[in-house]
Amino acid sequence: MSPLIDSGYAWRRLLASVIISTMGGIGMWALAVAMPAVQIDLGVTRADISFAYSMNMMGFVVGGVVLGRLVDRRGIVFTSTLSAIGLAAGFALATATSSLIMFAAAQSLVGFSAAATFAPLIADISHWFEKRRGIAVAIAASGNYIAGTIWPPIVQLLIHDHGWRFAYLSFSVLCLITMIPLALTLGRRPPDHDAANTATVTSRSIASLGLSPNALQALLVLAGLSCCVAMSMPQVHIVAYCADLGYGVARGAEMLSLMLGFGIVSRIASGWLADRVGGAMTLLIGSTLQCLALVFYLISDSLVSLYISSALFGLFQGGIVPSYAIIIREYFPAREAASRVGLTVSSTIVGMALGGWMGGVLFDITGSYRAAFINGIAWNVLNAAIAWWLLSRQMRQPRRSGAAAA
Q: What is the pLDDT of residue 405?
A: 41
pLDDT surpassing 70 at residue 196:
no
Q: Is 52 left (phi over 0), alpha (psi -120 to 50) or beta?
A: alpha
Name, in order, each residue with C-beta under 8 angstroms of 14's C-beta and a sequence gap of 6 or more: 125, 128, 136, 139, 140
Please compute Rg for the chain using Cα positions.
21
Q: How far apart are CA 214 and CA 220, in angstroms?
A: 10
pLDDT surpassing 90 at residue 152:
no
29 close to 155: Cβ distance less than 8 angstroms: yes
Mean pLDDT of the chain: 86
What residue type is assigned to position 278 of the chain? G
Q: What is the pLDDT of residue 23?
A: 93
Q: Tell me the pLDDT tens digit for each residue of 370-403.
A: 998 999 999 999 999 999 999 888 877 554 444 4
Helices (H) and strands (E) in the chain, counts: 17, 0
Q: What domains are there in the chain, each with its CATH number?
A: 1-190 (1.20.1250.20), 194-396 (1.20.1250.20)
pLDDT surpassing 60 at residue 199:
no
> What is the pLDDT confidence band of residue 406, given thresholds at 50, 70 and 90?
very low
Q: Tell me the pLDDT tens digit for each residue of 324-380.
A: 988 988 888 877 877 888 889 889 888 888 888 888 888 888 888 899 899 999 999
Mean pLDDT of 148-175: 90
Q: Tell me the pLDDT tens digit for each residue of 51-84.
A: 888 788 889 889 988 888 888 888 899 999 999 9
User: Angle of helix 337-366 relative to helix 119-126, nearest 10 degrees?
Assistant: 140
Q: What is the pTM of this model?
A: 0.77
275 close to 135: Cβ distance less than 8 angstroms: yes
Q: What is the pLDDT of residue 354?
A: 85
Q: Tell me the pLDDT tens digit for each residue of 241-294.
A: 888 888 887 788 788 888 888 988 888 888 888 888 888 899 999 999 999 999
Q: What is the pLDDT of residue 208?
A: 67
Q: How far apart are CA 256 and CA 250, in angstroms?
A: 10
Q: How far apart are CA 111 and CA 169, in angstroms?
A: 16
CA-based torsion, 66, 69, 73, 76: positive or negative? positive
141 close to 260: Cβ distance less than 8 angstroms: no
Query: HSE on the CB side for 140, CA within 13 Å?
Result: 32
Mean pLDDT of 158-167: 91
Q: How far apart are CA 205 and CA 399, in angstroms?
A: 13
Q: What is the pLDDT of residue 207?
A: 66
Mean pLDDT of 43-52: 79
Is residue 113 within a helix (H) or strand (E), and if so which, with residue range? Answer: helix 100-114
Query: HSE on the CB side for 228, CA within 13 Å?
Result: 20
Q: Which has the higher per-residue pLDDT, 11 or 1?
A: 11
User: Angle of helix 213-244 relative to helix 320-331, nearest 10 degrees?
Assistant: 180
> What is the pLDDT confidence band of residue 12, given thresholds at 50, 70 and 90?
very high
The CA-atom distances, in angstroms, between 172 and each of 3, 26, 83 are: 38, 10, 12
pLDDT surpassing 70 at residue 203:
no
Q: What is the DSSP letter of 364?
A: H
Q: What is the pLDDT of residue 365?
A: 87
